[in-house]
Amino acid sequence: MGKARFWIAFLALWTITALLAQASGFENSGVGLKARAMGGAFRAVADDWTAAYYNPAGYAYLADNQLGGILSLVHQRLELVPEYRWGGRFETGIFNDRTNFNKHEILSLPAAGLVVRMPLWGETVFGLSAYQPFDYNVTWTLFDPPDAYNNDARVPDDQFLNNLDVVAFQLTAARATMNDKYSFGLGLQLLRGDLVFNNILFRDNPLKDDPTTATVVWARPREKIAEFNHNDGNGWGFGLTAGCMWQVNEKLNMAAAARVPFDLRLSGSAVSQYYMPDDSTLWHNSDSVEISSPGTVGQLFLSGSTVSDNADFEATLRLPPSIAVGVSFKPIEKLTIALDGEYTFWSRFNGLDFTYSNHTGLSGVADTSGLARRFFTDDPSFSVDWKNAGKVMAGARYEYRDVLTLLAGVSADQSPARDAGSFSPLFVDAGDKLGLNGGFIFHIERWDLGLATSYVRQPDLTISASGDFGSQDNTVNFPGGYQAATYETILSFNYTF
């Protein structure tokens, strides 16, 4: 009883710490119904096929072969009230001072796995699984060129879009040693990355600082050129996941795990559309006729036309590795309490730098002028300065009846975007997150059928514009008020044979 009181007190303290602690980026919130319902505290439990994600060593203790699958239905509810003005005063075309919502859609994230115990090298357990370790999907409509700039320009609706999917196809092997007291597991991953990335860039007009240019021509709002940038590509890579587990006694398990995804080289096609300011009255201004007469570069940048450039692109996606530890304890026969801690090296992810080649589509002076061509074929970048982040998770599982298992958990996730210069509608990470989870599993002969739900809340965040806001081409450091919450429903089945 003394030991039981000690562990109950320890677990209670960890749970309180989890609620007060401060992890996230675009890492998936988790895989599997049991683990998600327990807040992600699963590395020292790892008793179904989803151990491939949390701790491959758990496969060694699975007594039966398994076939399982899940479907996660995710809804991100994001709000943004922009304050995106040049110098804090001049309008940019961003929908300021009103509440904007991300495109509402229910995202479907399926995953599946097979586990087979085979008489190889003793009793080694193998598994094949497919799941998404990284996923992000957000779409905004936030911009329309102001009439003073160009009242005829038509910009696509999905102006700010980040659809990033990384799927792992994993082969896992695990076995136990020393009278089944210790187990070790290793997973080899083939990673597939898919990216659709749209952005609105506000580029400095290449003529505004030309000493031969008449000041009146390039005055606000013509000193910035609006560019819609669209990238669609994919790539393949590799990764490793490994883990170990120690069954201290019948009540206590301890575990450690690590994931190492290697960089993905993405490639595909890109389209950049440039919306020129429209002021034909200046074509005949006596002070500007030399630079804005028809057929000149100056006229191009006043014509109100849309210039398109098509290209191939390459970009490196630097995925972050992570390490984790876990402990599970059974104070009574029907109750399991689990605690996990994870640390993710988000500082490896420095954003997306696109390198373009094979440009096509430019014509006339946009192609023949060296100054214009350099402007229209410039390589865009989306840089972030993220920090390493931690996550703590606490969960419980109670075998209420032979046919019913109840699960619950909490998690506290530290934001990697702790620098205001890293905030953007393309990566909404408003701060440290709190997750609440719960679910149940029905056991029907060899079938386990489950349902779980998850709610993740981020704090409200206000980002103020810096003194030099608008001096760069990209939209990082996007000032405004942010609100974010994520709702998730998970359905699962598991069949033992």
pLDDT digits (tens, 9 = 90+) for 109-152: 999 999 999 877 778 999 999 999 999 999 999 999 988 888 88
**pLDDT score, position 318:** 96
**C-alpha count within 13 angstroms, C-beta hemisphere, residue 32:** 27
Question: Residue 49's pLDDT band (boundaries 50, 70, 90)?
Answer: very high
The whole-angstrom separation of Cα 332 and Cα 326 is 19
CA nearest 339: which of 283, 277, 393, 266? 393
pLDDT given at position 476: 65
**C-alpha to C-alpha distance for 76 and 135, rounded to whole angstroms:** 12
| pLDDT classification of 211: cutoffs 50, 70, 90 | low
Question: Which tokens go with 454?
Answer: 């998850």
At 14 the pLDDT is 46
pLDDT tens-digit map of 306-352? 999 999 999 999 999 999 999 999 999 999 999 999 999 999 998 99
pLDDT tens by residue, 345-380: 999 998 999 999 999 999 999 998 898 999 999 999
Residues in the chain: 497
DSSP 22-43: ---TTB-S-SSHHHHHTTT--T
Q: Could you tell me the pTM of the whole model?
A: 0.89
Q: Residue 164, Cβ neighbours under 10 Å: how many?
A: 20
What is the DSSP-derived secondary structure letter of residue 77? E
Cβ neighbour number for residue 287 with a 10 Å cutoff: 12
Look up residue 61 and give its two tokens.
């203790």
Instruction: Judge whether 482 and 140 are in contact, CB under 8 Å.
Output: no
195 pLDDT band, cuts 50/70/90, is very high
Cβ burial of 186 (10 Å; 0-12, 13-18, 19+) is: middle
Cβ neighbours of residue 210 under 8 Å, at least 6 residues apart?
291
Torsion angle defined by CA atoms of residues 321, 327, 328 and 329, in that order, rounded to the nearest 10 degrees: -170
What is the identity of the amino acid at 76? Q
Residue owning tokens 């020393």: 178
11-25 tens-digit pLDDT: 444 444 443 333 467
Read off the tokens for 120.
């190889």
Distance CA 379, CA 355 (A): 6
Task: Quote the CA–CA distance of 269 and 262 in Å, as a whole number.
Answer: 23
What pairs with residue 271 in β-bridges? 230, 310
The Cα–Cα gap between 152 and 302 comes to 13
Tell me the two tokens of residue 258. Answer: 């690590």
Distance, in Å, from the CA atom of 484 to the CA atom of 482, rounded to the nearest integer, reads 7
- Written as one string, the DSSP assignment of 218-269 is T-TTTTEEEEEEEEEEEEEEEEEEEEEEEE-SSSEEEEEEEEEEPPEEEEEE
Q: Reduced to 3 states, what is the DSSP secondary structure of residue 206?
A: coil
What does the pLDDT look like over 147-191, one tens digit per residue?
888 888 889 999 999 999 999 999 999 999 999 999 999 999 999
The residue among 378, 191, 218 whose CA lies nearest residue 301 is 218
Residue 82 has pLDDT above 60, yes or no: yes
Distance CA 255, CA 58 (A): 9
pLDDT, tens digit (0-9, with 9 covering 90-100), for 260-305:
999 999 999 999 999 999 876 665 554 544 555 667 788 888 888 8
CB atoms within 10 A of CB 473: 16
pLDDT confidence of residue 283: 56
Q: What is the pLDDT of residue 21?
A: 37
Distance, in Å, from the CA atom of 265 to the CA atom of 237, rounded to the nearest integer, reads 7
Does position 3 have pLDDT exceeding 60, yes or no?
Answer: no
The C-alpha atoms of residue 430 and residue 38 are separated, in whole angstroms, by: 24
DSSP 416: S
Instruction: Provide the token pair at 413.
Output: 């996730």
In one-letter notation, the amino acid at residue 366 is A
Contacts of 122 (CB under 8 A, 6+ apart): 175
Our CA dihedral for 422, 425, 431, 433, rounded to 10 degrees, sits at -140
| pLDDT of 23 | 43
Beta strand ranges found along 121-181 (DSSP E): 124-140, 160-177
462 sits in which H/E element: strand 461-463
